[in-house]
Amino acid sequence: MPDCDKVLLVQAELDGELGAAEAAGLAAHRAECPICEAAAVELAQARALVRDDLYQPVPEDVRHRVMTALAAARPARPAMAAAAPESLGWWHRWWSNGASFGLGAACAAALAVLLLMPAMPPGLTEQVIAGHVRALQPGHLQDVASEDRHTVKPWFTSRLPESPQVPDLAAQGFVLMGGRVDVVGHDPVATIVYKHAAHTVSLTTLPPGQSVSDRAIAGYNVRSWSDAEFTYIAVSDLPSADLALFERAFSAGSPMPEVK
């Protein structure tokens, strides 16, 4: 079967992950690409089939039992010592607004997943980690592959309103691999990719003033810092101490731009 390197963007568009410019570009591409157009039709049909024919509302007694089990499974914390279902976060509102899925095994599977998920909507950190994980799939690590900062920096400049410095950190053990454009919220942002031994570091740049805490999620360490231009979020399976070394190396290698 023939293939197209943009076909995965069709799913992203259906999920609302593309910005306006990307969606417009994909629409123009689909008009000339039968592979992507066929993929869009198939995805739309599959979504309609699942929504209309295979799913049904969850009975109230099932919903109540699941919510009760979730409340009992949460570790006790002072701020939530007597947590009621209404205080359990975004997924409670999701259930209360009539979420639907198949019964039987599907209910059990959904409960298991919910017990493992953090009780919060995806924030900046979660979105950046999701971008890192998606990029680790074969062929998705970078949109521009180069160890030359003089190639990667202009590539960002031509695609984004604000582009970060791209220092060469090979001497510090972090080899530049290239860069990509991720979407955080609804905005395209620059992500610089480095390698440290067998480990990948994704450094995503957001507007300055963002508040992101250093932590570990799903096996990935997150480290964040800011300067006058950007908030930087580094994600990797490197130990946190190595990410701290990366922060120092990047900050030392990224002088502030000259004031004109």
Q: Domain boundaries in the chain?
A: 7-54, 60-116, 124-253
> pLDDT per residue over 70-126, tens digit each?
777 666 555 444 444 444 444 444 444 444 444 444 444 444 444 444 443 457 788
Q: Output the pTM of the full model.
A: 0.53
Phi, psi of 259 (to 5 degrees): -80, 125
Dihedral of alpha carbons 137, 176, 229, 216, sign? positive
Q: Which residues pair with 223 in a beta bridge?
A: 234
What is the structure's pLDDT at 222? 93
Q: What is the CATH number of domain 124-253?
A: 3.30.200.100
The pLDDT value recorded for residue 117 is: 42
Does residue 2 or residue 119 have the better pLDDT?
A: 2
Pairing between β-strand 187-196 and β-strand 220-226 as defined by DSSP bridges: unpaired
Each residue of 204-257: pLDDT tens digit?
Answer: 999 888 878 888 888 899 999 998 899 999 999 999 999 999 999 999 886 544
pLDDT of residue 4: 83
3-state SS of the chain? Answer: CCCCCCHHHHHHHHCCCCCHHHHHHHHHHHCCCHHHHHHHHHHHHHHHHHHHHHCCECCHHHHHHHHHHHHHHCCCCHHHCCCCHHHCCHHHHHHHCCCECCCCHHHHHHHHHHHHCCCCCCCHHHHHHHHHHHHCCCCCCCCEECCCHHHHHHHHHCCCCCCCCCCCEHHHCEEEEEEEEEEECCEEEEEEEEEECCEEEEEEEECCCCCCCCEEECCEEEEEEECCCCEEEEEECCCHHHHHHHHHHHHHHCCCCCCC
